[in-house]
Amino acid sequence: EGVNTSSSRGTERLSDSAIKERNDRLRFEELLKKQSASLNDISSDGYLSKQQEEAEIDAYKRGLERIFEGDSAPTQPFEELVNIKSENAIDDTGMRRLVPWLKNTKTDYLIIVCDPRVQSPELRETVQQLNVGLPDEMLNKLIIINADTPAENRRWLKKGNFDNMTVFSDEKRQWMRSYTALGEDRWSMSMFVIADERVQKIAREMESLSAVKVIQNAVKAMKERQL
C-alpha cells in the first residue's frame, strides 16, 4: 500500500462498488498468500499442529478484515480514545469534534500516526521529526495514537516540549485493532489519512526518517484525487 502519487493525477474517482471490488480482491490475494505460506509448514503426516491451526485462523481473520485505501473509515473506534489531560474517553462528543466529515467540513482531512508499542522510541523520534518538518497546516490536522498511559504521554510531551501535538492514549489498542494498525509480523508504526468518510492513504511500517516525506506525499496525493 504505502503512498504513491504517480497514478493520482489524471484518473477518475472510483465508484463505491469499484473500490469495494478492488479491496475485496486485495484482501483475497493476501489471504491466499498467507495460506500458501502456511502450507509450507505442514508436517510430514499432512496435518497442521495446533499452533499452526491457530496461526492460520489468525491469518484468515486478518486477511478478511484488513483495511485498504478507499475503504470506509470507521468512526466509532475514535470514541474509545482517551484524552491525556482529563484521562477520560472522548466519547461521541469528542469524536464529532475530531472526525472531519462529522464537523460538516467535507473537504477537511485528518492525519493519524499510531504505534502499538509502549514507550516507543521510534514514535517519539517521529514526533520530533514531524514537529520540525511538517508545515503548520498539516500539524494542525495531525493526531498521535499510542498505547502509553495518559500520565506517561504527558511526561514525554512535556520533556520534549511538544505542546502543539495532539496525542491520545489507546492502552487496550482498540482503535489500532479496528484500523488493522498493529503491524504484520511485528508491531510497527502506521500512518492514515482519512477524509470524506474514507481511508484515503495508508503507510504501514512507517519509519521515523521518512515520516515527514511520507505524510507530505500522502496529503498531496489525497488533495489531487480523493477516493
d(CA 120, CA 75): 25
* pLDDT score of 24: 60
The residue ranges of the chain whose pLDDT is under 50 are 1-11, 34-48, 56-57, 60-61, 63-64
pTM: 0.76
**How far are the Cα atoms of 73, 126, 141, 192 from residue 83, in angstroms, in the given order?**
21, 21, 16, 20
**How far are the Cα atoms of 31, 36, 57 from residue 48, in angstroms, in the given order?**
17, 13, 12
- 39-60 burial by CB neighbour count: b if 16+ within 10 A, else e? eeeeeeeeeeeeeeeebbeebe
pLDDT 10s digits, 155-188: 999 999 998 999 999 999 999 999 999 876 788 9
